[in-house]
Amino acid sequence: MTCLICVVDDDASFRSAITSLLHSIGYTVAAFGSAEEFLDSGRVADTACLISDVQMSGMNGFELQTRLRENGQQLPIIFVAASPGEKAREQAVRSGALAFLGKPFSEDKLMSLLDQVDRDLRSG
């Protein structure tokens, strides 16, 4: 697996844990503490899948998705949330997110979603 997975979350412990997990199974991972940091990183065009928190200080996950689309980037996005309310879940579905996961979530569910992204890239 050579696709770049980018993780955007203002919770450093979550970023570290998810980055370690993804590295351990062979993914290339870049982690960012804010949406703005990700947008300014120069890594957006290389990103195969984005894992983003919904609620962050500064730009939230949905605003990040809107900005990416305005810039012509149609990345598969997996939204995560510590408090996964129904309104946010509905917004994620309407916006075309790949998935919306409540924290904590099952590693198997995340792996299944990333396998789907990998298959889509290969068939692409």
* pLDDT tens digits for range 48-106: 999 999 999 999 999 999 999 999 999 999 999 988 788 888 988 888 899 999 988 99
Distance CA 8, CA 31 (A): 6
Q: Largest alpha-carbon pair distance within the chain?
A: 37
pTM > 0.85: yes
- Residue 96's pLDDT is what? 87
Q: Which residue blocks in the chain are alpha helix, DSSP H? A: 12-24, 35-39, 61-70, 86-94, 107-123
